[in-house]
Structure 1
Amino acid sequence: MITLQDLLIFAAASLLLVLTPGPNMIYLISRSICQGRKAGVISLVGVVAGFFVHLFAAAAGLTAVFLAVPMAYEVLKWAGALYLLWMAWQAIKPGARSPFEAQQLAPDSSRKLMLMGFLTSALNPKIAVFYLSVFPQFITPEHGSIFFQSIALGLTQISVSFTVNLLIALFAAGIASWFVNNPTWLAVQRYFMGFVLAALAVRLLSEPKRMV
């Protein structure tokens, strides 16, 4: 069973994931502003469905890898840290977009909204890499089934993402408008995320080697 401390840290990492610039966030905000809250919520249902594709693929894959390759944890540990550092750079690099800067989208039917939300999420490389590189840092074989630990982490990430994205979809217009009128906070938001992501990467690299 995953410890409460690790679960809370992972929930914080999931919160950073949902707030970092990426296809899901930009699509949901843009859709909500261009077509209304209902369209944003319908799109969110598709996005969440896409998360489950990543969840079960990662749970099955990590179980196989941990059992077959004892050194896999160390490899994924470094991959996860490098990925977090890359996300930190993406947040603070010159010309980086804030997820709260919307794009113009034409209206679509409910069916297409859900499909586009699903494809945006299922094909989002940021989510795939997060599941495969960050998940292992919170999994300890001594605590039981790797598969069920992965499921618990995935459901945590999905819950955090759904809650945050739902609030953003409902209040997207107001949030985007506020940031347009307060551009300094767009930079503050990006640099804060970059700092925390880099700190999490350092934490992962400082963890002692686990025996799997």
Structure 2
Amino acid sequence: MPEMMPLGPLITFIFASALLSIAPGPDNIFVLTQSALYGKKSGVLVTLGLCTGLVVHTTAVAFGVAAIFQTSVVAFTVLKVVGAMYLLFLAWQAFRAPASPLEAPSSNLRSSGALYRRGIIMNITNPKVSIFFLAFLSQFASPENGQLAPQIFLLGGVFMGVALVIFSTVAALAGELGGWLSKSPRAQVHLNRLAGAVFAGLALKLITASANAE
């Protein structure tokens, strides 16, 4: 049973999850740029989208589906191509996006919903996340502590909680830039282009990824 998991390994897992969430990476940059453009509320929604996507990966690992992506070249290739195409679409949108009034409630509301969905899709279409979870979560699950599936769900939930706190903090800090951006249309355009470059870079990294890469 997951509740019988020793406290020591669980604390170690929480610490490792925090380090992984804090370390600069594509997700952090994504949350930061979108928070600065649309405000901290939208940044938190992006984070919720990313964490929602992790539910899919946790479930995949718990039931062994992630192993299929690690051993099936076809399955891995199909998913990474879909993910890369979506990221390129986002890059195209970002490069074309003009400066807009960030304080318009209707615009922010629409953008928030889109960013939440964007976070989900970006996460679930990245096969590397499933493989990472397969390698990371399995290190802390042990048959000695009961059935593996409940342990994986527990660990996945803890990881999502840690990521939610850290990424929301990033969103809140980056959201403070919103006031400055609302007064600088030129800065909005530059940040949109930066976001587009990030999306394009993520697409390139994903499409060139191999199933066995670390």
Shorter-chain TM-score range: 0.5 to 0.7
Q: In 1, are the aligned partners of 2:53 and 2:123 still within 8 Å (CA)?
A: yes
Q: Which residue of 2 aligns with 1:54?
A: 52
| The one of 67, 71, 79 aligned to 2:68 | 71
Shift of 1:104: 1.4
TM-score, normalised via structure 1 length: 0.56
Decide whether aligned partners of structure 1 residues 169 and 88 sit closer, same or farther in structure 2, where only a CA change above 3 A counts: same
Shift of 1:193: 1.0
Shift of 1:96: 3.3
Q: 1:25-64, aligned counterparts within 5 Å? A: 28-29=38-39, 47=45, 50=48, 54=52, 57-58=55-56, 60-64=58-62
Decide whether aligned partners of structure 1 residues 132 and 182 sit closer, same or farther in structure 2, where only a CA change above 3 A counts: closer
Q: Which residue of 2 aligns with 1:140?
A: 134
Q: In 1, are the aligned partners of 2:36 and 2:178 still within 8 Å (CA)?
A: no
Q: In 2, are the aligned partners of 1:168 and 1:175 still within 8 Å (CA)?
A: no
| Residues in 2 aligned to 1:76 and 1:99: alpha-carbon distance in whole angstroms | 37
| Residues in 2 aligned to 1:17 and 1:44: alpha-carbon distance in whole angstroms | 9
Residue type at the aligned position of 1:143: Q
What is the RMSD of the two structures over their aligned residues, measured on CA atoms? Answer: 4.7
Partner secondary structure for residue 139 of structure 1: helix
Q: Indicate yes or no: 2:185 matched with 1:193.
A: no
Q: Which residue of 1 aligns with 2:167?
A: 161
Give structure 1 stretches of 5+ with no counterpart. 30-39, 107-115
Decide whether aligned partners of structure 1 residues 25 and 86 sit closer, same or farther in structure 2, where only a CA change above 3 A counts: farther
Partner secondary structure for residue 143 of structure 1: coil
| Residues in 1 aligned to 2:33 and 2:99: alpha-carbon distance in whole angstroms | 7
Aligned pair count reads 181
Partner secondary structure for residue 206 of structure 1: coil
Decide whether aligned partners of structure 1 residues 93 and 105 sit closer, same or farther in structure 2, where only a CA change above 3 A counts: closer
Shift of 1:98: 7.0
Residue type at the aligned position of 1:126: R
Decide whether aligned partners of structure 1 residues 57 and 160 sit closer, same or farther in structure 2, where only a CA change above 3 A counts: same
Partner secondary structure for residue 140 of structure 1: helix
| Residues in 2 aligned to 1:187 and 1:127: alpha-carbon distance in whole angstroms | 17
Decide whether aligned partners of structure 1 residues 201 and 152 sit closer, same or farther in structure 2, where only a CA change above 3 A counts: farther
Q: Indicate yes or no: 2:122 matched with 1:130.
A: yes
TM-score, normalised via structure 2 length: 0.56
